[in-house]
Every structure is written in C-alpha cells, then in structure tokens.
Amino acid sequence: MTRRILAAICAVMVALIAVSPAIAAVDTKALERELRCITCNTPLDISNAPSALDMKEYIREKAEAGWTAEQIKDSLVAQFGREVLATPPKEGFDLVAWLVPSIAVALGLAAIPVLTRVWARRGGNRPAPAGADATADERARLQRELDDLEY
C-alpha cells in the first residue's frame, strides 16, 4: 500500500517537473500585443521600428532567463513609463478609461425607450395637414383649378 502511494507521489512529482517549464514559458507574442512601441505608438507585435525591435529582443532575452510576463512588463513600464502599455491598467484613475464607455453605452440604451415615448407623444399632437379643414367653396375652387391644369 505504501509503495503505491509512494509511486503515485513520484509520478505526480515527475509530471509537475515536466510541465513546469511549459507553465513558466512566456508567450512573447501575447506580451508584445500588450505593449506599444515607444517610437511609433503602435502595438509592439506589428511595429518594425528600431526601438520596437530592441524591445522585442529584450523580451526574448528576459523570457529565456526565466522572467515571467508580469516581471518583463513591469520592467518595461519602469524604463519607459505607463505609455508603453497598450491598454491602461484597471486600477486607480486609469479605471475611468474602462468605466466611462460602458456607462455611456448603458445610459444610451436606457435612453432609447424614454426618447421613443417622447417622440411618439409629439407625433400625436401634429396639426392637421393643409386643406383638411377647407370649406366646400375652397374644395370646389381647388377642383376647378386642377381640372384647368389637365390638357
């Protein structure tokens, strides 16, 4: 019984050791999509500016050295500032950049039923079209003039 438990523990340990490099590996392409070139302000993964190429090389070197994606990103932010991030962090004042668009969409969707009711009410109070309250003499005159226009 203890041999089975010991064998199971060994198997789990071997599996964890074999999987840990795959877990620790940094997806450099994904990290490059999260960062911007400091020269041309485009995503790092599509930029070919010399500074972008240097940043890509830096990312590869640090990933090979065992750094995590978060450590690499933090290092680049320390070097170049928050402008190097493709999207603002979801904390502090930068949280406004994430909240305002969603609040604006929610308010716009909430305004649709209110505005349609207001517009529907205004449509019911429209004045009658011209000629709807014409007298019999005016209708007869209009008909004579229309008849005169025909060839």
* Bridge partners, 36 (sequence order): 43
pLDDT of residue 15: 59
Nearest to 40 by CA among 89, 76, 84, 75: 84
Q: Residue 143 corresponds to which tokens in the numbers above?
A: 């008909």
121: burial class by Cβ within 10 Å (0-12, 13-18, 19+)?
A: exposed
Mean pLDDT confidence for 84-107: 80
Separation between Cα atoms, residue 109 and residue 88, nearest integer Å: 26
pLDDT of residue 118: 87
pLDDT of residue 21: 47
pLDDT of residue 57: 93
User: Is the pLDDT higher at 100 or at 91?
Assistant: 100
pLDDT of residue 23: 44
Contact 50, 92 (CB under 8 A): no
User: Contacts from 18-23 at CB under 8 Å and sequence distance 24+?
Assistant: none
pLDDT of residue 99: 81
Separation between Cα atoms, residue 59 and residue 51, nearest integer Å: 12
pLDDT of residue 41: 86
